[in-house]
Structure 1
Amino acid sequence: MTAVLTEFSKTSQAKGALKLKQTLTFSFAGAVLIHVVVWTLLPMLLQTNASLDMIEGLAWGREWQLGYEKDPPLFPWLIELITTWSDKKLWVSYLAGQLCIATVFFSVWQLGRRIATEAEALVGALLLEGVYYFNLPTPEFNDIVLQMPFAALFGWVLHKAITENRLTIWIVSGLVASLGLWSRYSMGAYILPLALLMIAHPVARRRLASPGPWLLLLTSTLLFIPHLYWMAESGFVSIEYVGRRAPEITKITDFLSSLFSFISAQLLALLPMLLIAIMLWRWRSSRNWLQLRWGNFDQAYITALAFGPIAISLCLSIVARRPMRVMWGAPLWCFIGLFIVMAIRPFLTIEKLRYFGRAWSIAMLLPIAFFVLDQLYAPQITGNEKRTHFPGTILAETVTDRWHGTFDSPLKYVAGDTWYAGNVSFYSTERPSTMFSHGGRRFSPWIDPEDIKRAGAMLIWDATQEGDAIPAELATQFTNAIPQPPVILDGEVSVHHLGLAFVPPETIESP
């Protein structure tokens, strides 16, 4: 009888554990689905124009290069593919950005299920909802958002590769690492600390005697070689861009001030999550609440994932004396929530998980409210029109009609400011190739000088800032440009005064 009762008790416990697991899985899926749907719908309803990074990526992506002035090519390729497939509908870009964030949540959750309990994995993943970088900026799909899922996937699959030592998983890890680098060079901030962990930790170091880690290295290197070749051929223009965006600061006080500003901004971005973490800390199960031990591989691994990327980035910044920009911190915090849960080990009862659910709801609703108010009322209050409310379609139609009113040939090229030339390139029915005026042909190698002479080009610039005359950087390259009457566009709260000039086609006479 005792044996029967014992067996019945075990069966009941197993069923209860299975039901709890299913409930937690359903909760995770529901939370992520809500995030994806809300942050896809909001920009669809409140924004009418593509953002700056999307416009720039689309101007690059149509040229199908192995690299671009600022970035590796994966983001421009992807946004070109999805917008072409959707017939220039922006919803697909908004959805793509949220699928990237959902992949981060999923990867962190999967790693959490490997190294913690089901409840801790759920909380560790959903804590990211309280990090600024995973909500408000994400409607602007760009290279930063695209790198995030590869960073999170790499953290998950590498742990799987180290613990299971299967060659296929090592190869997948190399593939993910390479795709992350094709998205953004800052993927190296994840690769380097985990490589150091492989050398330093005895559990991971044993794998160096097997072929797995070397297959990872071989796979990622071989797949990245085409872009490395492009970097050398281009004169390392994408590396130069980083230097221009973060010029060296020689005065130590100025550098320390910029470093303090960056760290303060990161703490502010993490603040909602840290407030929820304080609530979790009150639920710790023992007085020995900070449970971090180097000998425990899982805890060493999650510590390296959570703080390795930001540590590496700060070290490079200090050594080079180049300040980090605030948004460069966005992809570096994918595993901070799981680290906190692993460090605190809160006592997560069903009732306390409900409390966490309410806190998660607040952490989600506050950015949503701010986004809605910002989109609806900020332009009227500040007098500054948002780029996502710019009349890009009207601009493209207006200047394209002007071109065809003068020439019988297609509009094949547009040159000028990134924003205005990029809007013409994307929204014009003819999708002209773009040469951004700040870099000339060096940053636009797809421009054939002989073809641009034959086909002609349109020049466009911000006349409010640069005056009605053709800017020097354009005038020196297109000496035969003919100024046109300016284009005046009414925005929601701004009047856009744009300069325009035509470079006439050599083979076609004006009507």
Structure 2
Amino acid sequence: MCIRDSYPIFNFKGFKYNPDLLQLVTLPLVVLAYLNAFEKRSWQSGLWLGLAGALALMTKYWVLTMIGAIGLAALIHPERMRFLLSPAPWVAIVTLAVAMIPHIVWLADAHFVPLTYAGDTYSIEDAGQVRQLVFGYVLHNAALLALPVALAAFAMALVPPWFSLLMRAPLRIVTRAWARGANVGVNASQALNIWIIQIIVAAGPPLGALAFSIYIKTDWGISLFFLVPLALVAIPALRVQSAVLFNIVAIWLVLSVATLVASPWIAAREMAVNSDNTATYGARSELARELTQAWHSRFVSRWAIVAGTMESIQPMVFYSPDHPAAFTPNEAWGSGLTTLDDVKKYGFVGVFDPTDGRLPAFEKWVSEIAPNAERMVMTTRRFTHGKAGPSMTWNVYIAPPAK
């Protein structure tokens, strides 16, 4: 866990919260539930595996990558028949299906928009662009993994008597951790599961992107490499001494404290260097707070719907305590969370970037749906330790609920 927590996403690169990070909570539970089911092969363990899979699927459909890898691991493993002839996998499948029924019903009601949206949005024709994206994906995730792996190697090298070895036989610092013969500290059967799963989720997405011309994002790999430390520790020839645990915890603690101490300086410096970077440092949470207060002061009710482009309104959905449903007029793909009838019934707040070329079409839509909507311009800016962030201006439209 400490090796994994030294992953940059968890400290100095952890600047955003999204479903890719949330998978780092649910996917380890899925893998743990699978390992437990593979070992116990009982219907109870299958029940927990199915529930863990359903929980993970509700974060992002990308979780199917890990679930598919687990399924392939179960079919590839030499002990597969003992597992497949037990109730565990079948109870897991049934439990997952039953737990997902409400979501599947919603998907059907929404005409499976999330799936068709993904198919249309992330399918590209330019083979050169696909290769470039795959190369960037591999390079980005390899660079992120390099730090925890290097720190783990450093922790193993610091096992006493490392100083005397450094003086007399430096190579022994590395070679002493490796030995032939059986390793009683490694469960070979479960280690094989870990290796199969990690290899599949590491190689599968980039190969799939190349084969099917998919636009692959670097963030999609965030949740797929948490098993690397465990896969390395499970190498039978590697002898991990108990002193390594202390070293890893100490390294993780030093890095975490150093990052926390330096975070005010890092934030101020980043804000100063990126004073015009509205994409990353724009004051969207502040806008969500202001709009929530504006709605409450006018109508003394919950803010139910926010309208605009997904880029503009997603932060409003997340940061507002009312968590209004998103409505995206004039876009090919809606959120599936609300309808035009709801917009007219409950009212809405429209939020739009005045520099966006789609503004005239949105204003036309507002004029048709809510001609009496209140229109205003709001400006937001965030200050971090005295450093001013970029100023952002928004066109805001407040349409009251139906009487």
Cα distance between partner residues in 2 of 1:201 and 1:429: 47
Given that 1:151 and 1:187 are in contact with CA atoms closer than 8 Å, whether structure 2 keeps it comes out as yes
Note if 1:312 corresponds to 2:208: no
Out of 134, 144, 154, the position equivalent to 2:10 is: 134
Note if 1:376 corresponds to 2:268: yes
- Name the residue aligned to 2:21: 145
1:124-175, CA deviations, whole angstroms, 9 ceiling, x for partnerless residues?
x321122223334556443223322322122222222222222211211111
Q: Could you tell me how far 1:340 is from its partner in structure 2?
A: 0.9
Given that 1:481 and 1:504 are in contact with CA atoms closer than 8 Å, whether structure 2 keeps it comes out as no
Note if 1:206 corresponds to 2:82: yes
Note if 1:164 corresponds to 2:59: no
Letter in 1 for 2:226: C
Tell me whether 491-500 or 425-434 shows the greater mean CA deviation: 425-434
Out of 59, 69, 92, the position equivalent to 1:183 is: 59
Indicate the percent of aligned positions where both proteins have the same amino acid: 17
Greater helix fraction, Structure 1 or Structure 2: 1
Letter in 1 for 2:69: P
Q: Map of 1:239-258 to 2, 5 A cutoff?
A: 239-243=115-119, 245-251=121-127, 253-258=128-133
TM normalised by structure 2 equals 0.77
Q: Could you tell me how far 1:399 is from its partner in structure 2?
A: 4.3
- Name the residue aligned to 2:286: 391
- Name the residue aligned to 1:360: 252
- Name the residue aligned to 1:330: 222
The structure-2 alpha-carbon separation of the partners of 1:189 and 1:260, relative to structure 1 and needing over 3 Å to count, comes to same
TM normalised by structure 1 equals 0.63
The structure-2 alpha-carbon separation of the partners of 1:320 and 1:387, relative to structure 1 and needing over 3 Å to count, comes to same
Given that 1:175 and 1:219 are in contact with CA atoms closer than 8 Å, whether structure 2 keeps it comes out as yes
Q: Map of 1:41-440 to 2, 5 A cutoff?
A: 125-136=1-12, 138=14, 140-243=16-119, 245-251=121-127, 253-279=128-154, 280=156, 282=174, 284-286=176-178, 288=180, 296-343=188-235, 345-349=237-241, 351-365=243-257, 367-368=259-260, 371-383=263-275, 384=277, 386-387=281-282, 390-392=285-287, 395-396=290-291, 399-400=294-295, 404=298, 413-418=305-310, 421=313, 433-437=325-329, 439=331
Q: Could you tell me how far 1:485 is from its partner in structure 2?
A: 4.1
Cα distance between partner residues in 2 of 1:431 and 1:343: 46
The structure-2 alpha-carbon separation of the partners of 1:235 and 1:300, relative to structure 1 and needing over 3 Å to count, comes to same
The structure-2 alpha-carbon separation of the partners of 1:322 and 1:391, relative to structure 1 and needing over 3 Å to count, comes to same
Cα distance between partner residues in 1 of 2:34 and 2:135: 33
Cα distance between partner residues in 2 of 1:322 and 1:428: 33
Letter in 2 for 1:475: K
1:182-206, CA deviations, whole angstroms, 9 ceiling, x for partnerless residues?
2221222222222222222231322
1:278-305, CA deviations, whole angstroms, 9 ceiling, x for partnerless residues?
33372644355999xxx94233112023
**Secondary structure at 1:466 match in 2:** coil
1:76-131, CA deviations, whole angstroms, 9 ceiling, x for partnerless residues?
xxxxxxxxxxxxxxxxxxxxxxxxxxxxxxxxxxxxxxxxxxxxxxxxx3211222
Cα distance between partner residues in 1 of 2:208 and 2:51: 25
Aligned length: 373
Specify every segment of 5 or more residues in structure 1 that has no aligned partner in the other structure, as ranges: 1-124
Q: Could you tell me how far 1:264 is from its partner in structure 2?
A: 0.3
The structure-2 alpha-carbon separation of the partners of 1:166 and 1:259, relative to structure 1 and needing over 3 Å to count, comes to same
